[in-house]
Structure 1
């Protein structure tokens, strides 16, 4: 949305009051606005202030730079924290997940403009909002199974509530999707052309202080356009058929034995993902489907995040994808058969202290 850069002395997040809008501008464009603990804390404090301010009608979240809203958490910092045994990783996840819950329950319109790259933690600070805007440039993904982790930030709640098995497909494969598929997956609501974003922000910023949520929605709808066809639309029947099983082995077997191009491509994708991450992700998604609240899913994810810090795959996946960038992780265990149900269930044992007081798992 903006060509602004940032330097070492710039704030990592810019908090502003513009008319009736409380603005949150993620300001690490050179790092694709990836989230730090400082940013999470600033967002949480700003939401509390905006929620209590009667002159603020809505919150608007955008990313500085031209490449995206947010590429996720600062995974390199988390990797370093886990390797060194410091508390940063655990503290970051705890406060990030609490922020995700606060966004979900924010009492005013929470508008996230998901233009460009919106991945991992970027989905957490946008898709839990009440007004989620995508454009033709949106590239949304939850790619965690490819780095030895799992979709967190409440994604196991979000993905389990989309149409059919689309959420299962996205969670397991980590494939990136555009605007239409994001809306179909219940991760977004409104399509706006990227060329109209500056005018949209200008109109929102001109709303009178203290206006009603209905006034905000009228402004949003003025820019809303019909969404183009999704790239996954032709494969929805196949996705629902292949991804309906409750075991990764059954899903992989169904894909492997089908001759269609889509099945073979999806099978090949899953072969490159961490077997441990695949099994844990599917288990979390199926539990999410029967959960009564986002908080229950976040609690499970929080428990699992601590366990992942002690696994080989988490560090190996980040090494291969981000540090050495050889794109050739060596998973351990390296086969689905060697990842037992007991290993998966052990990752879900409640963490103490829990996120929300008494465990909701």
Structure 2
């Protein structure tokens, strides 16, 4: 488990994983995913470990997502390394959701993309006044993954679809409303909370320091979000947003119009499908198919180039308009990939899925203390 990009620490009954790439806001690489998975395997069998904590080094945030630039170069050379990375990452996302011991994640600061995948499926998901959480994939010609379609599809009303299509970052209070987080704790208290986790159970400690979150800004916007995003057609959604006469709705329309038309169309379809999925694992299997297909889209490499490589912020999407997105490309994104299938299955397909996010807080969990 030696990997300087993840510090694996033990204090009392606490196993602590510290993502340790602060200059990159702790962006995930393949080695980090493997280190986290190995630690979880070891600590599950260790009776002296009662709680697992995942946090990020530095002051900027837990994790800014996957190492997208590495994926960009891999996509240009064939994409085999990305396939292996996503396979291990998605298995880790499911592992965190089903872990038999409490996992506490500190979603403090920036938490994007892959950072959501290693935090928002945990039993105790803590946000603060500094939290900025999002799934910005449509801006790079990609589609929310790491179980993000499952989480966003189960947010109240159409809040999840709004966040997915616009790529907007939400506050800690918004994240609790959406079911992405479970507890709000002032950032100044987090060191004390961490220290107590070494001696006391997770539910007791998090319950002690959990606070009533501030009012969610998104809660005040539900009236136009639910109405505008109700259709199953992306073009119709943009027309509704633009015609509502509300500044925030108009801004959302402009934001979505600047994203990859292919990614926007497939993201909408992915969330609709994830809402009907029977488990997180089923949604992850779907996301893996979409990710493999997206790796071959011209928009994925172009989006990363424009945002993160050349940084000209001027992607040339192909096609450039929603109306020109090929229905066959959308349908093909969800098609079985044969021997490459991810193959995840829920522990008991007949039981109620325990990984559906809760939209209430503060709360305790059923994963122990």
1:195 to 166, 170, 188: 188
Cα distance between partner residues in 1 of 2:215 and 2:345: 44
TM-superposed deviation, 1:256: 1.6
1:354 aligns with 2:347: no
Higher mean C-alpha deviation, range 198-207 or range 132-141: 198-207
**CA RMSD across the alignment:** 1.5
**Does 1:38 find its partner at 2:31?**
yes
Residues 268-312 of structure 1 deviation map (CA, whole Å, 9 limit, x = unaligned)? 111111000001001000000110011111111101111111111
Give the secondary structure class of the aligned counterpart of 2:176.
Answer: helix
Choose the corresponding residue for 1:133, options 121, 126, 149: 126
Q: 1:248 offset after TM fit, Å?
A: 0.6
2:265 alignment partner in structure 1: 279
**Is residue 150–residue 274 contact of structure 2 (8 Å, CA) maintained in 1?**
yes
Q: How far apart, CA to CA, are the structure 1 residues paired with 2:13 and 2:156?
A: 35
Tell me, yes or no, if structure 1 residue 51 matches structure 2 residue 49.
no
Q: Structure 1 residues 41 and 10 mapped into 2: Cα distance closer, same or farther (>3 Å)?
A: closer
Of 15, 30, 55, the match for 1:62: 55
TM-score of the aligned structures, taking structure 2 as reference length: 0.91
Q: Are 1:96 and 2:82 counterparts?
A: no
- The CA deviation at 1:86 is 4.7
**Are the counterparts in 1 of residues 7 and 18 from structure 2 also a CA contact under 8 Å?**
yes
User: Which secondary structure state, in structure 2, belongs to the residue aligned with residue 149 of structure 1?
Assistant: coil
Q: What aligned pairs does 1:1-361 form with structure 2 within 5 A after superposition? A: 11-207=4-200, 215-351=201-337, 352-356=339-343
1:144-183 C-alpha deviation (Å, 9 max, x unpaired): 0000001000111111111111011111110001111000
Tell me the CA shift for residue 18 of structure 1: 1.2
Long gaps (5+) in structure 2: 350-369
SS of residue in 2 equivalent to 1:35: coil
- 1:65 to 1:10, Cα distance in 2 relative to 1, 3 A: farther
Tell me the CA shift for residue 233 of structure 1.
Answer: 2.1
Partner of 2:361: none
Distance 1:258 1:189 in 2: 33
1:340, CA displacement in angstroms? Answer: 2.5
Q: Which structure exhibits the higher relative contact order, with contacts defined as CA atoms closer than 8 Å and separated by 6 or more residues?
A: 2
Determine helix, strand or coil for the equivalent of 2:244.
coil
8 Å CA contact retained: 2:139, 2:260: yes
